[in-house]
Chain A
């Protein structure tokens, strides 16, 4: 174990049998035979890795994937004008906005509302699969991917906000009014569930395989 060795060659807290308290920073050692415990100082729950991280992430991700279908198939916005009532799904909105001058807006909606949620789901699924398989390749990229997913998560909520603001502001009753449609609920669920999934995923799992391999080798 030399100082010039790669970062993988140094032990992790788990390998050392230690866990740090995320609240008060106290390092403690689990009771013999146990893997988890409570911080002796602040009584925070302690674990080497996030509890049932993979399982929970999978559960959230699955729920998000399920919700993604109705979010795209059901209308998100109901516009009532003098000419009649119209309900539009996200994709219809994209098509509606698509025009020689308005295409950037259309593109924003397409990216923010359709591509990002699906990309998030796919990215998390990829991270989970590779973590479960114990893959050691592209660790750095995978962590970067995770960071992007975690960062971008909250911004997907913008769509929901835009919709609700429009609904609240455009209430010119006899002429025009806008109301959220059921699809929006599912879309919000997709965003929240992907955020929860990203939250419940423990990025340390990406490195555990590498560490264990190191152990085997070492």
Chain B
């Protein structure tokens, strides 16, 4: 302690302080806490680091490293961290940093796809992506096998596994306006969607997968009929115009409707992935399937232009079957062309009242008897024009009382029914007749003769002219003769007066004779006296 110049007594002595406890200050608590917090944050960050997933896509269009998210049910559970090309430069490999605790999502059958705005008819999905850009959607699989690298789906699945419901398989020859996402209606209520479609390997039918949500899937049973519900069905009947549609939506984009015939017995719901036929329209769907369809053959010798398989066979306007096959046939022996048309008749639609089904008489016998009697009564097949615009032709079965008698040969298979030429054909035939008669006329010869006659006529006319001139002279003379002052006329006049006088005397004579007929014999009385 150094001594200063100032006297020590002038400086106050500070009060003693209890000796400081530890040499280590409590302040060290702060960095320890900071370190602990830092370590904790780091640990939670590292522990919270989710799994890294790689996806393979055809294209990374719309995806951006560091921005594009992976969404599952709308929850952001991952971010694209890197996008690079594969070794062969054909595909894109996308690395995704998943959110923590997503390991159990990444299993064998988990699916990933890119969600882009998609406007397919009823479904406008991914509208948000218009603003936010594309994101990656995923569907968690049910497998237990973990997996880290996936191949992304190129098209977004319409139905993801989370939705309760069932898939059904529809077979159709024509896709129509269907697309993935096309609605499925049940009593005009949208209950599902088309999830996918594919052409069968043989190329004949299309397989359309539809998804029907729970609880509506219970209304699909083996008797259910599916049909194209697209467009407007306009039918004109005696009662007026009838327009039938599903919903406005289905008019625009098409749809599939299903219904079960209420008259049929209720059956348990169909199994998932049951196969159904997709009918063209509701009427077709509920048309009773032909039972015991009977096949007949019709031979037409006329042109069958406009007749196609599927054309109706009508009995007096009632459809009772359809044409199944049309083909040409040449009989080389007689060198005759004919067109055998195969038709299929649904006997039920004919509504035949079988009077007294005799026991022991089989259906076939009854059928033979029926057809025989029909043909016997003049039932014939005829081609008729159904639509003047399109020229579509249908087969009409009708009674022609004046038809030439025909019999049915039951030994042939298929049985041939007699035909008569169509109405147009008949007209055509008669016109043909006339034309042929006209053809037979020796027009050329007539012409030649006519030409010769005309030449003669020419000569005749020249001479006729001379004749006419002389005739004119004659007539002039005649006219002179008849002029009022002509001598002839005066002479004639005098002669006529003379005649008139003579006539009067004759009259007087006859009058006298009438009164005195005896004068003829006796002479006049006066004269006699």
Contacts and interface: CB of A to CB of B under 8 A. Distances in A.
A37 B17 contact: yes
Among B16, B31, B76, the most chain A Cβ lie within 10 Å of the Cβ of B31
A82 B13 contact: no
| Chain A interface size range | 35 or more
B8 interface: yes
B379 to A, nearest CB: 75
A29 B8 contact: yes
A55 interface: yes
A60 B31 CA distance: 6
Contacts of A62: 31, 34-35
Contact of A31 (B14, B28, B35): B14
Interface in A59-104: 59-60, 62-64, 66-67, 69-70, 74, 82-85
Given A36-B20, A66-B35, A66-B38, A60 B27 contact: yes
B42 to A, nearest CB: 7
B41 A60 contact: no
Interface in A22-47: 26-31, 34, 36-41, 43, 45-46
A185 B156 CA distance: 42
B25 A30 contact: no
Interface in B1-25: 1-2, 4, 8, 11-17, 20, 24-25
A34 B11 contact: no
Interface residues of B, number: 31
B contact face: mostly helix, strand, loop, or mixed: mixed
B31 A66 contact: yes
Contact of A52 (B15, B17, B27, B33): B27
A29 B9 CA distance: 10
A189 interface: yes
B206 to A, nearest CB: 39
Contact of A70 (B15, B31, B42, B69): B42
B376 interface: no
Interface stretch (A10-18, A115-123, A149-157): A10-18
A30 B17 CA distance: 10
A142 interface: no
B4 A16 contact: yes
Contacts of A85: 76
A34 B131 CA distance: 74
Contacts of A19: 14
B132 A39 contact: no
B41 A40 contact: no
A29 B12 contact: yes
B30 A182 contact: no
B280 interface: no
A31 B27 contact: no
B14 A40 contact: yes
Contacts of B4: 16-18
A69 B38 contact: yes
Contact of A55 (B11, B25, B41): B25
16 contacts: A15-B2, A28-B11, A28-B13, A28-B14, A31-B13, A39-B14, A52-B25, A52-B27, A59-B31, A60-B30, A64-B34, A66-B35, A66-B38, A70-B38, A84-B67, A189-B34
